[in-house]
């Protein structure tokens, strides 16, 4: 992702507020195993204010790569728009000379993933996600077993 210098370095409160406004889906990108390409997993997530919390099924191929290298990137993309070239043509130039671009809001995190294998801790992660995504409670009780 190309980030202009003036857009780099959001302060903590700014990205926390942006996420709290309903941005709760992103892309987990992990380095591939040796000789393999990177792996990207679109997924829902929640945040406790300092950590991104993700609950994925253990058969997901992302786990082997995280165990090999826990350095990951997580990207959340918000509003976006494609701007056609003619809209950006400089005054006095033909519209066809305008350069198209995209404008978007995004936050990209560089993280060190922590795999949670404790059954109760995994159940707690799932409870947190369900509290966010299904606050009405219309789901089965989550238990470690």
Question: What pTM was estimated for this model as a whole?
Answer: 0.81
> Mean pLDDT over all residues of the chain?
89
Pairing of strands 39-44, 25-30: antiparallel
The CA distance from 145 to 143, in Å, is 5
3-class SS of residue 12: helix
* CATH class name, domain 5-78+104-133: mainly beta
The CA distance from 14 to 81, in Å, is 21
Residue pLDDT, tens place only, 52-93: 899 888 888 898 999 999 999 999 998 899 999 999 999 999
Q: What is the pLDDT of residue 117?
A: 85
Closest Cα partner for 130 from 120, 122, 121, 142? 142
């Amino acid at each position: 992702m190309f980030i202009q210098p003036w857009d780099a370095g959001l302060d903590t409160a700014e990205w926390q507020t942006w996420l709290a406004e309903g941005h709760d889906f992103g892309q987990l990108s992990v380095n591939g195993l040796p000789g393999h390409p990177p792996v990207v997993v679109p997924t829902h997530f929640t945040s406790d204010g300092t950590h991104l919390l993700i609950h994925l099924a253990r058969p997901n191929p992302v786990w082997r790569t995280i165990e090999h290298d826990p350095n990951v990137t997580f990207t959340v993309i918000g509003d976006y728009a494609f701007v056609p070239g003619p809209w950006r043509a400089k005054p006095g130039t033909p519209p066809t000379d305008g350069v198209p671009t995209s404008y978007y809001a995004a936050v990209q995190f560089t993280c060190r993933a922590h795999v949670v294998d404790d059954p109760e801790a995994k159940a707690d992660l799932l409870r947190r996600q369900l509290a966010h995504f299904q606050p009405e409670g219309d789901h089965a009780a989550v238990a470690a077993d």
